């Protein structure tokens, strides 16, 4: 067998190598032999390429030039999120690297950024595009190692196919003159999450910022898990916080691709895109070949962030839940300020460790779930973690706003009490002084007092008008001007009852407006069902109603807690519960929990017309709906009633009547966002002309609330074909790349 690997004067190419059964058999055996390093050296000699330019054709595939059999190496293809065929695999041209000459093809080397056990990362400059890039090169002494070459190529292909703002894009893959692989990617300026954790000062704002970065990491990993990729080395050191607000998951060199199938049947048996997502075809993803690359018991990753099954080397047991464990360890470090991996407490459970820290209950529960030793008890993937942390952040914001309102009210009361006390103690002296000076200053003081009173009253009127328009920032600015005028005149603004009362109204109505906006976000959500459930639960939990859809809790208890919420929003909260129940019903809720949501909506909103419409909605009877509508004056009915009637008509099959009803409502209230959104949704399912009209109404809705609602216009319904797939929701973020 050794003789068959002697280099010849004209080395065979990859095709002749793969077509020679004897040679292929000898090479396959060499990978499992003890003399692996020697065989790798022989393979490199076998595939040496002459220096003539003709031997390095610009269009030659890099994969065909690597020191392994091309058909064994395979081409990595991640499944598409929407079930459509994946794009063509990355097959770049071969570009030689001459590190000593300071160039990589057209790229000019600038400096070495980092050096690891497998590769070296360099900064380079692209003179054609005028930009800096990062270049990762496999270390020279490892270029003949089959497993490491495979992992290096797959890392490049994963970066080339995972198109997400949280993943560094790969620009090209190539080989140097000694057949070493390299790939060029975006150069990221910033620092790692590990550096930020080490340098933090434990402030509340910094804690929220770190949780926001963690949320984006979860969203990135949710996308990767949806494409069938597991990272296997998630840790703060592999998360980069960019200089312009980016959050990027780095270093996919240990990533594992799930859901494999045999490539030799791919062309003949490729399923329709709407039936089975495309999967990965690589040497490492084949069960019969995997032993050559990852022996049973092999431990890949960083011990402090390894899931138990990963630490035990149970390679076949590793799936998205191994990354969930790592996310839990990172979240523990962010929330608690210390590493989860502690030598002095290796056997203590997450609950025991967390008991020493005063964390928010929902955050503590999420960490416990992620760090469950049994992987079946953990969240199924990063999408669940992203949803839970999003709900926590939304709840924390609501609680912070409520605390600010309570603190402002308490401060106002304290100031009034102090002023009353000071006034009582100095009343006698002030009265005596006033009697002496009254004759001298009465005229001038009276004039100044009248001017101040007019200024304060004008500011309060301006604030009241702005409050009526919903412009709370303008209202607060007007009240601040009034308070400043009083303070400049030596008077305490807290003592002006009218000013204090108007500020309380502004703060209360601003909070109600925030809650209304959140209710609109919930009603317009286009997220998958489990994310809608998580968001709704998080919203009600933030308001103090835990287990809103938990059948173990009595309807009476849940109704009592709901009724205790803001009376002004009862009908709108009932509408959210009604929408939620209707969604669950459409999705075929096997537990019939949607009935509880209908009952809760009814307990909150006892309006007789809407009660009749809810009954019709449950029965899906168009005649019952129309009968109820004949009993009311549609021109004077509340918009909530119109919305519910349109939904009931649509559910019972009378979509044209629903559209007619909503068109009349838009004419009556052109600035109502929910009416616009519901009409846009109805029209988007009609003819091409109606879909065009739907876009107009959706655009108007976006202008009404430009500060970030969920997608306002669902995609028009299509004929047979792959269903539209949606990833987890993400919070608006700055994307400077």
The string of DSSP letters for 166-209 reads TBPPEEEEEE-TTS-EEEEEEPPPEEEHHHHHHH----HHHHHH
Report yes or no on 310 lying in a domain.
yes
Classified as helix, coil or strand, 163 is: coil
Tokens of 106: 């057209």
Q: How many CA atoms lie within 13 A of 695 on its CB side?
A: 7
Write the CATH number for 121.
3.30.200.20
Looking at the structure, tell me whether residues 107 and 156 fall in a common domain: yes
Beta-strand relationship, 229-230 and 256-257: antiparallel
* Distance from chain centroid for Cα 712: 18
Same-domain check for residues 422 and 370:
no
One-character DSSP codes across 656-673: HHHHHHHHHHHHH-TT-H
Residue 158 lies in a domain: yes
pLDDT band at 609 (very low <50, low <70, confident <90, very high): confident
Residues 242 and 370 in one domain: yes
Can you list the positions of beta strands (E) in 7-106?
Answer: 74-75, 97-98, 103-104
pLDDT digits (tens, 9 = 90+) for 337-363: 888 876 555 556 777 888 878 788 889
Instruction: Tell me the C-alpha distance between 505 and 685, whole Å.
Output: 42
133 DSSP β-pair partners: 124, 186
281 DSSP β-pair partners: 75
273: left (phi over 0), alpha (psi -120 to 50) or beta: alpha
Residues 298-350: pLDDT tens digits? 557 788 899 999 888 888 889 999 999 999 999 999 998 888 876 555 556 77
Q: In whole angstroms, what is the distance from residue 400 CA to residue 414 CA?
A: 21
- CA–CA gap between residue 327 and residue 379 (Å, rounded): 11
Distance CA 322, CA 313 (A): 12
pTM (2 d.p.): 0.46
| 373 and 395 belong to one structural domain | no
User: Which residue did the predictor score with more confidence, 67 or 170?
Assistant: 170
Co-location of 234 and 353 in the same domain: yes
Q: 423 falls in which pLDDT band (50, 70, 90)?
A: low
Same domain, 142 and 168: yes
Tell me the H-state helices in 470-549: 472-488, 497-523, 529-542
The DSSP-derived string for 134-153 is EEEEE-GGGTT-HHHHHHHH
Asked whether residue 85 is assigned to any structural domain, the reply reads: yes
- The enclosing domain of 216 has a CATH number of 1.10.510.10
337: left (phi over 0), alpha (psi -120 to 50) or beta: left
pLDDT in tens, 474-513: 888 888 888 888 888 888 888 888 888 888 888 877 776 7
485 or 240, which is more confident? 240
Length of the chain: 737
Contact between 73 and 22 (Cβ < 8 Å)? no
Residue 271 within any structural domain of the chain: no
pLDDT of 626-643, one tens digit each? 777 777 777 778 888 888
Q: Phi first, then psi: what are they for 541, rounded to 5°?
A: -65, -40
Do residues 562 and 603 make contact, with C-beta atoms less than 8 angstroms apart? yes
179 shares its domain with 204 = no
Predicted pLDDT at 171: 92
- The answer to whether residues 66 and 170 belong to one domain is yes
pLDDT tens-digit series, residues 549-591: 888 888 888 888 888 876 777 777 888 887 788 778 777 776 6
Structural domain includes residue 668: no
Confidence (pLDDT) at 98: 52
Contact 160, 214 (CB under 8 A): no
CB count in 10 Å sphere of residue 114: 10
Does residue 362 share a domain with residue 455? no
Q: Write the pLDDT tens digit of every residue in 32-53.
A: 333 344 334 433 433 343 444 4
Domain of 146 in residue numbering reads as 51-186
**Looking at the structure, do residues 299 and 396 belong to the same domain, yes or no?**
no
Domain tally for the chain?
3
| Residue 720: pLDDT over 60 | no
Would residue 570 count as lying in a domain? Answer: no
DSSP 8-class letter at 242: E
How do 247-249 and 190-192 pair as beta strands?
A: unpaired
Give the SS3 label for residue 532. Answer: helix
The tokens for 357 are 């820290």
* Whether pLDDT at 216 is above 90: yes
Q: Give the model's pLDDT for residue 77.
A: 59
What are the backbone dihedrals phi and psi of residue 421, each rounded to the nearest 5 degrees, phi first?
-65, -45
- Write the DSSP string, 62-82: HHHHSSS-HHHHEE--PPPTT
Residue 182 placed within a domain: yes
pLDDT greater at residue 605 or residue 399: 605
Q: Which of 543, 568, 589 corresponds to the end of one domain?
A: 543
Start-to-end Cα distance in the chain: 53
pLDDT on residue 90: 36
Q: Examine the domain organization and report whether 533 and 414 are in the same domain.
A: yes
* CB burial readout 459-468, b (16+ within 10 A) else e: bbebbeebbe
Of 380, 414, 441, which residue constitutes the final position of a domain? 380
Q: What is the pLDDT of residue 30?
A: 34
Question: What span, in angstroms and rounded, lies between the C-alpha atoms of 62 and 70?
Answer: 10
Q: Are residues 363 and 512 in the same domain?
A: no
Residue 82 lies in a domain: yes
What value does the mean pLDDT of the chain take?
Answer: 72
């Amino acid at each position: 067998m050794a003789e068959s690997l002697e280099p010849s004067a004209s080395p065979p190419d990859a095709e002749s190598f793969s077509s020679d059964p004897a040679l292929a058999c000898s090479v396959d055996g060499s990978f499992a032999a003890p003399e692996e390093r020697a065989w790798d050296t022989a393979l490199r000699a076998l595939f040496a390429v002459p220096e003539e330019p003709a031997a390095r054709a610009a269009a030659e595939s890099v994969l065909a030039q690597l020191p392994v059999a091309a058909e064994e190496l395979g081409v990595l293809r991640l499944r598409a999120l929407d079930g459509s065929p994946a794009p063509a695999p990355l097959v770049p041209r071969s570009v030689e690297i001459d590190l000593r000459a300071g160039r990589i093809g057209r790229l000019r080397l600038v400096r070495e950024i980092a050096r690891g056990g497998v590769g070296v990362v360099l900064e380079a400059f692209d003179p054609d595009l005028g930009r800096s890039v990062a270049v990762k090169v496999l270390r020279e002494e490892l270029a003949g190692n089959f497993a490491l070459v495979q992992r290096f190529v797959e890392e490049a292909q994963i970066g080339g196919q995972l198109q997400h703002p949280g993943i560094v894009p790969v620009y090209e893959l190539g080989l140097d003159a000694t057949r070493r692989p390299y790939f060029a990617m975006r150069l990221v300026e910033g620092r790692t999450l590990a550096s930020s954790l080490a340098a933090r000062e434990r402030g509340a704002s910094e804690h929220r910022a770190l949780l926001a970065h963690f949320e984006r990491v979860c969203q990135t990993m949710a996308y990767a898990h949806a494409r069938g990729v597991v990272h296997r080395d998630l840790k703060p050191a592999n998360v980069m916080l960019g200089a312009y607000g980016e959050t990027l998951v780095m270093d996919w060199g240990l990533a594992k691709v799930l859901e494999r199938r045999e490539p030799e049947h791919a062309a003949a048996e490729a399923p329709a895109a709407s039936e089975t997502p495309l999967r990965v075809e690589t040497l490492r993803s084949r069960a019969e070949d995997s032993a050559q690359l990852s022996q049973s018991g092999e431990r890949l990753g960083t011990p402090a962030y390894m899931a138990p099954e990963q630490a035990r080397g149970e390679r076949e047991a590793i799936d998205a839940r191994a990354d969930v464990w790592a996310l839990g360890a990172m979240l523990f470090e962010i929330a608690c300020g210390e590493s989860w991996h502690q030598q002095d407490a290796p056997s203590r459970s997450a609950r025991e460790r967390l008991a020493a820290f005063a964390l928010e209950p929902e955050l503590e529960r999420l960490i416990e779930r992620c760090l469950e030793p049994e992987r079946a008890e953990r969240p199924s993937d990063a999408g669940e973690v992203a949803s839970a942390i999003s709900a926590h952040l939304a709840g924390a914001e609501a609680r912070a706003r409520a605390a600010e309102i309570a603190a402002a009210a308490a401060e106002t009361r304290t100031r009034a009490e102090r002023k009353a006390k000071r006034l009582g103690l100095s009343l006698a002296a002030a009265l005596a002084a006033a009697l002496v000076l009254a004759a001298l200053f009465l005229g001038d003081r009276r004039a100044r007092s009248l001017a101040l009173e007019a200024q304060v009253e004008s500011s309060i009127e301006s604030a009241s008008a702005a409050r009526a328009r919903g412009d709370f920032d303008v209202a607060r600015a007007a009240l601040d001007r009034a308070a400043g005028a009083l303070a400049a005149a030596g008077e305490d603004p807290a003592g002006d009852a009218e000013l204090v009362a108007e500020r309380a109204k502004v703060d209360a109505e601003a909070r109600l407006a925030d809650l209304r906006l959140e209710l609109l976000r919930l009603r317009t959500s286009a997220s998958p069902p489990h994310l809608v459930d998580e968001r709704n639960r998080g919203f009600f939990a933030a308001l103090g109603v835990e287990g809103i859809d938990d059948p173990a809790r009595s309807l009476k208890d849940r109704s009592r807690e709901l009724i205790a919420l803001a009376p002004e929003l009862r009908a709108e909260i009932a509408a959210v519960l009604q929408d939620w129940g209707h969604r669950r019903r459409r999705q075929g809720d096997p537990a019939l929990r949607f009935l509880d949501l209908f009952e809760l909506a009814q307990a909150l909103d006892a309006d007789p017309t809407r009660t009749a419409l809810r009954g019709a909605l449950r029965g899906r009877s168009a005649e019952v709906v129309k009968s109820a509508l004949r009993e009311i004056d549609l021109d004077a009915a509340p918009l909530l009633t119109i919305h519910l009637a349109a939904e009931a008509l649509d559910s019972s099959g009378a979509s044209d009547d629903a559209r007619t009803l909503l068109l009349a409502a838009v004419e009556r209230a052109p600035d109502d966002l929910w009416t616009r959104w519901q009409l846009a949704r109805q029209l988007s399912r009609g003819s091409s002309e109606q879909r065009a009209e739907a876009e107009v109404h959706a655009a108007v809705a976006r202008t009404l609330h430009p500060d970030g609602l969920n997608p306002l216009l669902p995609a028009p319904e299509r004929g047979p074909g792959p269903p539209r797939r949606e990833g987890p929701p993400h919070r608006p973020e700055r994307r400077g790349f």
